[in-house]
Structure 1
Amino acid sequence: MILIVMGVSGAGKTLIGELLAERLGCGFIDGDTFHSAANKDKMAHGIPLTDDDRWPWLASIREAILEEENEGETAVFGCSSLKREYRDVLRGGVPPDGRVHFIYLKGSFAVLHERLGARSGHFFDPALLQSQLDTLEEPGEDEAITVGIEQTPEAIVDEVLARLKTIGAS
């Protein structure tokens, strides 16, 4: 099983991904580690990424997903996955089929902005939040489990695991 924790910057992808991986006894892979130096530099300078910037990044994450799938491993990835076509790439171009599950961490602008303002040591310029929200194509029920980020991290993970059981994924 592959889980991809998705959402805009500040939603908690890394924290929730790490907690999910811990509870599932598997690895967590942060999609940010696949960004090129040029992508990180753009974001650090408040320049939004384009689709052309994202395609090689998404292809690298897809390769890592394939490695995990080929080894029969369960793994949790963190990746913004802002557009449906990005999620299609991560799923390998197939419709949602139960092999790759997206967990959408949904939050209001106010909560996300507050979190980004409190974060330090990350390359993402908080000024880019609105551009990410403008790019975001929220996944439908056919594509992701949606969870509100106003809960505690532990409550979010509990909800995700319970919802995975209801769809026969855990």
Structure 2
Amino acid sequence: MPIRHVVVVMGVSGTGKSTVGALLADAFEVPYAEADAFHPEANIAKMSSGVPLDDADRKPWLDAIGAWAADRAGRGGVVSCSALKRAYRDRLRAAATGLFFVHLAADRALIAERLARRHDHFMPGALLDSQFAALEPLQADELGIEVAVTAAPEAVAARAAAALSAYENPENSTETSHGSH
């Protein structure tokens, strides 16, 4: 069942954005884009050395993700992107209207445990505190849903898929989300 909206799977590093994003894209039969692929080499080098990105570093990255989302507008797609701050989500929305955000949420202890087990990623666990400090959860006027990542990725993706399906087909559902509470 393809979707019309572009879904942005957001959250701090280690919440499962890539896994859940790929599951959602498969469920909706739409393309999936990994936000890390949009980073310029300078950003990857900076994060790999344990230095958090600043807003200036993120602008070209967000603009590239926004361009991908704009290209998929009306045809659906899923992209992972930390989108930690409201300003970052606003920048994405300015590039592509109608984005639906899926905020994958968990407490710091769970995410730290996950990051400690991950050895194949350029984002070091040492930057986790900076991510939680920057995190601004979805606000009531933002289209999307927050989903706890304490369940298996398939269950998390199913909950997010149900919320998006309810938004796209309100006559068939009882699920609610931000922006439609």
TM over 0.5: yes
SS at match of 2:168: coil
Q: What is the alpha-carbon distance in structure 1 between the residues aligned to residue 123 and residue 157 of structure 2?
A: 25
Aligned partner of 1:90 in structure 2 is: 92
Tell me: CA distance 1:117–1:169, structure 2 relative to 1, closer, same or farther (3 Å): farther
Q: What is the alpha-carbon distance in structure 2 between the residues aligned to residue 141 and residue 121 of structure 1?
A: 35
SS at match of 2:14: coil
Aligned partner of 1:161 in structure 2 is: 161
Give the AA of the match of 1:38.
A
Number of aligned positions between the proteins: 165
* 1:105-132 Cα shifts (integer Å, max 9, x gaps): 0001011001111112111011000001
* 1:67-103 Cα shifts (integer Å, max 9, x gaps): 112xx42100000001111001111168xx7x21000
Q: Percent identity?
A: 40
Note the C-alpha offset of 1:169. Answer: 5.6
* Equivalent pair of 2:10/2:81 in contact (CA under 8 Å): yes
Structure 1 segments (4+ residues) deviating >3 Å: none
* Equivalent pair of 2:63/2:95 in contact (CA under 8 Å): no
Matched, 1:108 2:112: no
Give the AA of the match of 2:89.
R
TM-score by length of 1: 0.92
**Contiguous gaps of at least 5 residues in structure 2:** 171-181
Aligned partner of 2:44 in structure 1 is: 40
**Contiguous gaps of at least 5 residues in structure 1:** none
Q: Let me know the Cα RMSD of the aligned residues.
A: 1.6
Q: What is the alpha-carbon distance in structure 1 between the residues aligned to residue 21 and residue 132 of structure 2?
A: 20
Tell me: CA distance 1:5–1:57, structure 2 relative to 1, closer, same or farther (3 Å): same
- Structure with more relative contact order (C-alpha pairs < 8 Å, separation 6 or more): 1
* Equivalent pair of 2:70/2:95 in contact (CA under 8 Å): no
TM-score by length of 2: 0.86
Matched, 1:18 2:25: no
Matched, 1:55 2:54: no
Give the AA of the match of 1:154.
E
Note the C-alpha offset of 1:157. Answer: 1.2
Aligned partner of 1:64 in structure 2 is: 68
